[in-house]
Structure 1
């Protein structure tokens, strides 16, 4: 009861939902000179003086939106638009000085980039399309320079929204293309960087400059970066995952393939690092809790609609963090808390997930346990599975593991595939005498028969049934399971007609180390990508 009243109190204390109406504070100017322990350098190069460069219509609007999002997240932001070589050099110097005194430093670049002779270069607005080896450093910006500046902070992070296709966007006139340096190519991995570089697309692939009309004013990558910065309390690991999912799902139907962002590197405390920190809400005084009035139903309408959008299929196939993130995109944390406090079982499930992850709210495993336990009393197999997952990995009381097995078994007996798969994982990996691999394989077969992808993957990895697992996963992909479905390969005529077609990048044929149950196995390779010409029908240049 106290927990529910606390949820109501949190909701009632939210300034946007209670108290007298006040004028909304103006949004912070994105490049204002403010004191902060967090600094960002945001660059958007849209127009290039040399008209032979592909003009990127949305790079500048991307940089403005990203600038505003980081400013709203408490960063001091340096914004550059259509920056020349000298502009970039001066901004990087200032950025480095600020980063040396900051906890977090973020570098964001939207524009053209390339690699030559082991060095990565960003293209300033005044750079030519042809140069010599001797003039590269004087005309272009070595990516190592802004990354070194960011590296002076405790938490350095970089976002690169640039094409990584094999197409040469600059010509080095005296390059020996058959020599050790080869021709110019796509931006590669940085050297000696102590943070995270988040590429907007995979190696050997392209990055779209816009989505189709009417929402084509920003690139898919920038749109996702901005959207998830609006949600406080998302740690960097989850943030990267959510952006990746949004970009891939948002470009799934693009005619020239899915864009797949890729992170490189890791912060030591990445799971506890937030680009936008969760706002702490002071709890109501204990004396006020018994008389706290229920929240008005109209005030919870957004949360109720967001929760109602969760389908049984979503519960069966998607992990709790993904569902919680979707709800957070449509409703505020205090609204979800109030709905959970009112006894709504799915809201309790979502809010409990938020609490144990620290997603949108300060992390509180004790409160999370209570909400998930309350939700599990409904007997909903999906909610039972999440509660068991919490006990399995976060339970810190004697008997939690045994309780996780019991709760998983209850959901598995109801035919719930995710519970069957998770229970199988516990039984397969447990030490004797709890270990029961024969039962585990039977549970995985039952879950795979219900089209649960991880179970099919587990049969291949643990059971050695690799051919059958590949066939089943391919069938799921063909049936439309988005997480497993590769992008369509352009036709031969399309590849021949495009002078900048990207080469296919393949992974090894080895089975990767299995992900934790409930998550999807990685894809078997990166699909073929191709540049799309500017047709004037809503598709724009590819970076």
Structure 2
């Protein structure tokens, strides 16, 4: 019975503890073994000032060696877990080696591709550092460079030559393929100063064209982030006479987000508020969204659908919303498949069709969409919608959703482990899921662990205390008693109290 009560959490939205934005801004200019870059330090400082001016908590790192940069990334990764948005900006030399992108610290002694791999910071490391943010993750590279030296890169090739110009941030000649296209997870955006395979310009003034465009667009209030980066692209193309075209990669969630804030909405918007959040979009941006939707952009289709699903808005039009979701779902959008499934399951704004809804839930789950995994798990556990009760299948789906960081699924898996339902898992596993659910910012999980911790067994409570101690959030006794010290640790893990 306890699990069934907890399972009701599945139907509740995630609520962040606080709406905040953190940024790590990195500028590499004074290189020891490769040609220096003129504007990268300026770019980093100015981007950092711009982000600070719009409310970001900014850490700026200039001309760092590899060890210092890795320490900064580790600290930022922990801080990111209680932020709505985590953003990293890197200006400096970057190269592609064997399909991976590497960013070069100033102390790298680069004589071969192997040196690059061993001494540099990979794009994957930057993505890991922002990965824990609750709503959105952004990595911006003003370092789209190439590695034209194959597997026998020599130091002499990296020295400044006649082919290097003051307005080119590349290493070596202009030949080569630039950075490789990344494939970030859903909810993560990677922005390159130049498309993969192309090179970025350092600029002839104090800043690169890309940095100038970013500094102009970032402070603009009520400019949704996807449209903001499209504006940056257009501005850079204009400034460079079409020589440089920035590009973004990734699949953003259907939550609208505004770097400089938006009237009528917070910085981070819970899933159940998307209808209201998109409905507050400025008219010119709604027109832009419609244009992009007509060009096949599925996130724009989703945004428009959410507007038409808002019952408090005069544009409320369920039929149009369903048409947009149908189109986006057919194009492969997992979120559109999930939202359309909910409409059909509940018969809200559409004719009820449970069989088709289940098929859409499965399609979204096959793409790893956490909400779909979680809902299907609940249906199988309860035996709902004509499905036979299948506990093993439900547990497998719950684990998949939990491992994809679905907050309610993490809580429910912890409860199932605590009840002994999941074989081969113990109190330490339950505690790890509870800790991650706390870090995700789910208010229901926070409330239960703060006010009703006795619903978990003493072994699980002691294991959670050990988990809090592991991250220096608690230094008291490991006794399973959630007194004031443990409560402070729980609040710190949630983000209510600074760590």
TM-score tier (shorter): 0.3 to 0.5
TM-score by length of 1: 0.41
More relative contact order in 1 or in 2 (CA 8 Å, sep 6+)? 1
Higher helix share: 2
Q: Could you state the TM-score of these two structures normalised by the residue count of structure 2?
A: 0.45
